[in-house]
């Protein structure tokens, strides 16, 4: 009896092995994200399986864990067929030959990009190929608590300069007690300000700024600390970094541990509003900069890339094509990954968007697009360590432990050394 069941079990396993080998194409797909994204994407995958028979294995993670997982997978030659990618890491993956150049597939029409603007395609162009297809666009934004400002009778306008914004922070602090989170720990803000000064944080993989430029940036935090309106390291130490739910704009119990604004990506308005207490209305404007037009840019919120080692390049491309061009699929995702890149899809789903998402789309199209400059290149190797250095220095300034001048000196030294490796 025992033997029989063993034989049966073996036979069953064999059958399953055979059937999975004989079955339709199978793809591994990976992305990072939030609950909404996970659910909507899974629905799209299910729909695709119904239509084509292609089955999926998915890996979903939070942003930080995602990159650890992907790095380990790549060390074992096991990168998923299709993976979501970020400007923060894509260059490293391209440099190591881990991603597939999409150009031949766009030329053959297997990947239909006829409704996607050339500028959007260019966002994924690097090292002589297109290694990521941008699946949504967004921009950097200053999300803010409109309710507080309305109650205090303060009005703000888009494209504020640095000086206007700093005066505003002071005024809000004096009138309401709410402090300002001046992009504390938001790594992209450093480059945003540098662009406003006509510089670029990274230039050809090296540091593109001087000590004076850095001192301007750190000086903002020094001034905020001195005037008292800067939300400092003591508050951030007990929050989960990067969490929307624990962002000090929506999380906290008294004004002196909260911020009236949050520097984030435009599409995060939806998640942030969901996390906000009842009765609080959020809105968005541009982040302050010495020159907002020079600073502003339309960004690729995320890419989809195909692994260079995929066993199913054609099926991967076909799926990618469906993902960006299918109206049906995008009616499920509703721009959660940023504004859809296909103009046809964008028009088709416009009516289905909730008012908040419509506000975000209008912001990017009407405020950012006409008032922006070229999108910066993807981050070089070592960028994450440079950002971490900047965060630590900002933290020290908020404790008054270092002057802006010393911080700038230290930043330029450390960052140059990191990038020189």
Partner 1 sequence: MAQSNAVGMRRPGWAQRLKEWLCRESTAGVICSLPFIIGFVLFLIVPMLLSAYYSFCDYNILAPAEWAGFKNYVKIFTADAKFVKSLGVTFFYALISVPLRLTFALIVALILLKNTKMTGIYRAAYYLPSIIGGSVAVAILWKRMFAIDGTFNTVLNMLGIQSNIAWLGNVSTAIWMLILLSVWQFGSSMLIFLSSLKQIPQTLYEAARVDGARGYQQFFRITLPLLTPTIFFNLVMQMINGFLAFSQSYIITQGKPMNSTLFYVVYMYQQGFEYFKAGYASALAWIMLLIIGAFTGLLFLTKRFWVYEEGN
Token pair for 408: 């700038």
In the complex with partner 1, the residue whose CB is nearer, 239 or 344, is: 239
Count the neighbouring beta carbons within 10 Å of the beta carbon of residue 240: 11
381 is a site residue for partner 1 (CB under 8 A): yes
369 is a site residue for partner 1 (CB under 8 A): no
Do the Cβ atoms of 222 and 175 come closer than 8 Å? no
399 is a site residue for partner 1 (CB under 8 A): yes
The torsion angles phi and psi of 342, rounded to 5 degrees, stand at -80, 125
132 is a site residue for partner 1 (CB under 8 A): no
The torsion angles phi and psi of 293, rounded to 5 degrees, stand at -70, -40
- Stretch of residues binding partner 1 (CB under 8 A), selected from 88-96, 107-115, 172-180, 358-366: 88-96
- Stretch of residues binding partner 1 (CB under 8 A), selected from 132-140, 323-331, 359-367, 388-396: 388-396
In the complex with partner 1, the residue whose CB is nearer, 33 or 232, is: 232
Residue 85 C-beta: closest distance to partner 1, Å = 13
Torsion angle, alpha carbons of 237, 240, 245, 249, to 10:
30
Q: Distance (Å, rounded) from C-alpha 394 to C-alpha 190?
A: 11
Residue 216 C-beta: closest distance to partner 1, Å = 23
Q: Distance (Å, rounded) from C-alpha 200 to C-alpha 207?
A: 8
What is the total count of residues that contact partner 1 (CB under 8 A)?
35
Which member of 216, 221, 236, 260 binds partner 1 (CB under 8 A)? Answer: 236
Any alpha helices (H) in 61-152, and if so which ranges?
63-75, 90-95, 103-108, 118-122, 146-152
Which member of 20, 62, 72, 151 binds partner 1 (CB under 8 A)? Answer: 72
Tell me, residue by residue from 276 to 315, as one string, x for binding to partner 1 by CB under 8 A and - for no binding: ----------------------------------------
In the complex with partner 1, the residue whose CB is nearer, 19 or 238, is: 238
Residue 381 C-beta: closest distance to partner 1, Å = 8
96 is a site residue for partner 1 (CB under 8 A): yes
Which member of 163, 234, 347, 354 binds partner 1 (CB under 8 A)? Answer: 234
Residue 121 C-beta: closest distance to partner 1, Å = 25
265 is a site residue for partner 1 (CB under 8 A): no
Q: Distance (Å, rounded) from C-alpha 176 to C-alpha 367?
A: 28
In the complex with partner 1, the residue whose CB is nearer, 312 or 395, is: 395
Which member of 200, 384, 403, 409 binds partner 1 (CB under 8 A)? Answer: 384
Q: Where are the beta strands (DSSP E) in 139-226?
A: 140-145, 202-203, 206-207
413 is a site residue for partner 1 (CB under 8 A): no
Helix and strand numbers (H, E) in the chain are 19, 12
CB burial class (10 A; 0-12, 13-18, 19+) of residue 345?
Answer: buried
Do the Cβ atoms of 129 and 97 come closer than 8 Å? no
Q: Distance (Å, rounded) from C-alpha 369 to C-alpha 249?
A: 26
- Cα 104 to Cα 10, 115, 118, 259: the distances in Å are 44, 17, 16, 48
Tell me, residue by residue from 214 to 233, as one string, x for binding to partner 1 by CB under 8 A and - for no binding: ------------------xx
Do the Cβ atoms of 412 and 218 come closer than 8 Å? no
- Stretch of residues binding partner 1 (CB under 8 A), selected from 37-45, 160-168, 298-306, 385-393: 385-393
Residue 63 C-beta: closest distance to partner 1, Å = 11
Which member of 183, 292, 335, 382 binds partner 1 (CB under 8 A)? Answer: 382
- Cα 302 to Cα 87, 90, 132, 133, 218: the distances in Å are 7, 10, 9, 8, 29
For residue 289, the number of C-alpha atoms closer than 13 Å in the C-beta half-sphere is 30
In the complex with partner 1, the residue whose CB is nearer, 6 or 401, is: 401
Restricted to residues 32-71, the positions that interact with partner 1 (CB under 8 A) are: 64, 67-68, 71
21 is a site residue for partner 1 (CB under 8 A): no
352 DSSP 8-state letter = G
252 is a site residue for partner 1 (CB under 8 A): yes
* Binding site residues, partner 1, CB under 8 A: 64, 67-68, 71-72, 74-75, 92-93, 95-96, 98, 232-238, 241, 252-254, 256-257, 381-382, 384-385, 388, 392, 395-396, 399, 401
């Amino acid at each position: 009896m025992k033997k029989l069941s063993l034989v049966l079990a073996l036979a069953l396993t064999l059958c399953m092995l055979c059937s999975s080998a004989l079955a339709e194409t199978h793809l591994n797909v990976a992305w990072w994200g939030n609950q909404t994204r996970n659910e909507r994407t899974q629905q799209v995958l299910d729909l695709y399986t119904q239509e084509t028979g292609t089955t999926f294995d998915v890996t979903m993670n939070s942003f930080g864990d995602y990159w650890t997982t992907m790095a380990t997978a790549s060390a074992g030659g096991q990168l998923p067929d299709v993976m979501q990618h970020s400007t923060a890491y894509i260059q490293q993956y391209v440099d190591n030959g881990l991603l597939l150049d999409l150009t031949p597939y766009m030329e053959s029409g297997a990947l239909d990009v006829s409704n996607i603007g050339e500028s959007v395609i260019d966002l994924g162009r690097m090292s002589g190929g297109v290694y990521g297809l941008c699946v949504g666009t967004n921009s950097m934004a200053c999300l803010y608590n409109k309710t507080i400002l309305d109650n205090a009778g303060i009005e703000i306008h888009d494209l504020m300069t640095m000086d206007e914004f700093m005066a505003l922070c002071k005024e809000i602090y004096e009138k309401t007690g709410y402090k300002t989170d001046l992009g504390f720990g938001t790594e992209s803000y450093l480059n945003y300000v540098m662009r406003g000064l006509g510089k670029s944080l990274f230039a050809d993989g090296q540091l593109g700024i001087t000590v004076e430029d850095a001192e301007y940036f750190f000086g903002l935090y020094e001034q905020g600390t001195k005037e008292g309106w800067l939300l400092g390291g003591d508050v951030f130490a007990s929050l989960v970094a990067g969490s929307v739910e624990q962002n000090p704009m929506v999380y906290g119990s008294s004004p002196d541990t909260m911020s009236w604004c949050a520097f984030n990506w435009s599409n995060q308005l939806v998640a942030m509003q969901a996390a906000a207490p009842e009765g609080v209305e959020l809105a968005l404007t541009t982040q302050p900069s010495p020159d907002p037009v020079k600073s502003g840019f339309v960004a690729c919120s995320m890419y989809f890339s195909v692994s260079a080692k995929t066993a199913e390049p054609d099926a991967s491309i076909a799926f990618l094509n469906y993902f960006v061009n299918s109206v049906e699929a995008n009616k499920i995702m509703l721009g959660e990954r940023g504004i859809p890149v296909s103009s046809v899809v964008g028009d088709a789903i416009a009516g289905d968007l909730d008012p908040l998402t419509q506000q975000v789309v209008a912001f990017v199209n009407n405020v950012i697009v006409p008032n922006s400059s070229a999108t910066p290149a993807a981050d070089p190797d070592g960028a994450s360590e440079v950002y971490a250095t900047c965060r630590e220095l900002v933290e020290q300034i908020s404790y008054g432990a270092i002057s802006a001048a010393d911080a700038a000196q230290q930043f330029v030294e450390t960052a140059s050394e990191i990038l020189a490796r």
